[in-house]
Homo-oligomer: A and B are copies of this chain.
Amino acid sequence: MKCLILAAGKGSRLRQRADSKPLLKLLGVPLIERVIRNAAEAGIREFVVVTGHQEPQVREFLTGLARRLALPIHTAHNPEWQNSENGRSILAARHLLRQEDSFLLTMADHLMEPALIGRVLDAAPPPAGGVLLAVDGEIANPLVDREDVTRVHRDDDRITAIGKGLEPFDGYDTGLFLCTPGLFGALERSAERGDSSLSGAVARLAEESRAGAVAADGLFWCDVDDEAALGRAEEALLQRLRGKQHDGPVSRLLNRPLSIRISRWLAGSPVTPNQISLFSFALSLLAACLFTLGGYAALALGGVLAQLASIVDGCDGEIARLKYQGSDFGGWFDAVLDRYADALLLFGLTWHAWREGGAEPALLLGFAAITGSFMLSYTADKYDGLMRRLESGKRGVSWRMGRDLRVFLIMLGAVLHLPLLILGVIALLMNLETLRRIWICRPRTTAP
């Protein structure tokens, strides 16, 4: 299925931020790229973009993006973009879409999560010759500018009226449509009656009972129209990073809130997730070296550095998600570096404890702590898989003992000057948890 994206407008309310609104960067990624990537994630494999303002720049950007994504992105120009409503832009792409049974339609300034696009694609086909609109019935949605948004009134899954300032209303136009080519005729009929906007055409279709609605309640979408909306969208994208499964208590309460702030700041830079992983590893290495120096000052500073490394370590995944830079290799590379970092930190602590006297206990506890930590990582996949199966139906996987707690304990041990005690605590916790996992994963029925 093709996806038509309207990107002709000037976006005058955001002109201080960028010459072209589709190319305006939100957390390091242009709006139009976010729209296209989200749709591609939902399964769309071909795009048609209507350009207008700053046509050459937008077209050049899309040419590069099509190459990077290895997906065809066609453009159609609307020469009347300056003095016409958005319905005219849709008609400018008519020749590229009239052969389709149906096509997706959205705007370059409407962000939405792939699940919302997926819901529209999975919905019943649009009424014959009509359109299907994703409607957000959550009237209190804080991301919506209630004065500026296009309102919708529904009767069951039919749209009965649509327009700005509509009263009464029971939902918002999310800007995502599944259209039949019948839309083109409706646009012409509406234009003849003096309204050449998309909303006008949908109002005509609503009168003919040919405008359906799909509920978008609870899914993320956001119309980026002005500075305030831009800020809301940025904040929403950042807060969505908190929802990561598996986040342990230290991560949830301490690391994640701080790493999100760092990620917001890093997003605008060209720094890649793998570079962040390496930087975090370097911080851990430095912390481990400080541990081995001896003396309380170096030990405590190393502890703080280790915790900082753990915080920065959250940013690689966050930047990867914010900027569509995630990869299998990236996640694995980060995990491998984390294992080395853990081993180095615990070795540093062991070395410190050994130098301060108590060689045998230091060696024994240090060894047990390193082994237990590795075992916890080694058994994580199997344990997570089992937990997912056992908890399928529930919303997510419950918390598991992991790296956030381990590094936090190392930091505590360093700052409180109790390296030996904390090695013992880590050794005990990590190995007991490993044994518990083996016990949990054991076959429940006797094998034949």
Contacts and interface: CB of A to CB of B under 8 A. Distances in A.
Interface in A330-372: 332-333, 335-336, 339-340, 343, 347, 350-351, 354, 359, 363, 367, 370-371
A421 interface: no
A374 B113 CA distance: 39
Interface string A62-89: 0000001100000000000000000000
A261 B2 CA distance: 64
A443 B325 CA distance: 12
A379 interface: yes
Contact of A367 (B325, B347, B434, B447): B347
Contact of A374 (B68, B69, B374, B379): B374
Given A329-B441, A370-B371, A354 B343 contact: no
B448 A68 contact: yes
A442 B278 CA distance: 14
A322 to B, nearest CB: 14
A293 B397 CA distance: 45
A379 B68 contact: no
A149 interface: no
A448 B374 contact: no
A374 B343 CA distance: 10
A378 interface: yes
Nearest to A332: B382
A371 B351 contact: no
A375 B336 contact: yes
Q: Which secondary structure dominates where chain A touches chain B?
A: helix
Nearest to A320: B447
Interface in A289-333: 324-325, 327, 329, 332-333
A340 B69 contact: no
A327 B447 CA distance: 8
B379 A336 contact: yes
A343 B367 contact: yes
Contact of A363 (B325, B339, B354, B442): B354
A150 interface: no
Interface in A391-448: 434, 438, 441-443, 447-448
Interface residues of A, number: 36
A347 B367 CA distance: 7
Contact of A378 (B339, B350, B351, B370): B339
Contacts of A335: 378
Nearest to A335: B378
Contacts of A363: 350-351, 354, 363
Nearest to A385: B328
Contacts of A339: 374-375, 378
Contacts of A371: 340, 343, 347, 370
Contact of A375 (B68, B340, B442): B340
Contacts of A378: 335-336, 339, 374, 377-378
B336 A447 contact: no
Contacts of A374: 339, 343, 374, 378
A284 to B, nearest CB: 13
B68 A329 contact: no
Given A336-B378, A336-B379, A438-B336, A443 B343 contact: no
A69 B448 contact: yes
Nearest to A375: B339
A202 to B, nearest CB: 35
23 contacts: A68-B448, A69-B448, A272-B447, A324-B448, A325-B447, A325-B448, A327-B447, A329-B441, A329-B443, A333-B438, A335-B378, A336-B378, A336-B438, A340-B371, A343-B367, A343-B371, A350-B363, A351-B363, A354-B363, A359-B359, A363-B363, A370-B371, A377-B378
Given A336-B434, A347-B371, 14 more contacts: A324-B448, A329-B442, A332-B441, A336-B379, A339-B374, A340-B371, A343-B367, A343-B371, A350-B363, A354-B363, A359-B359, A367-B370, A370-B370, A378-B378
Nearest 3 CB-CB pairings of A with B: A68-B448, A343-B371, A374-B374
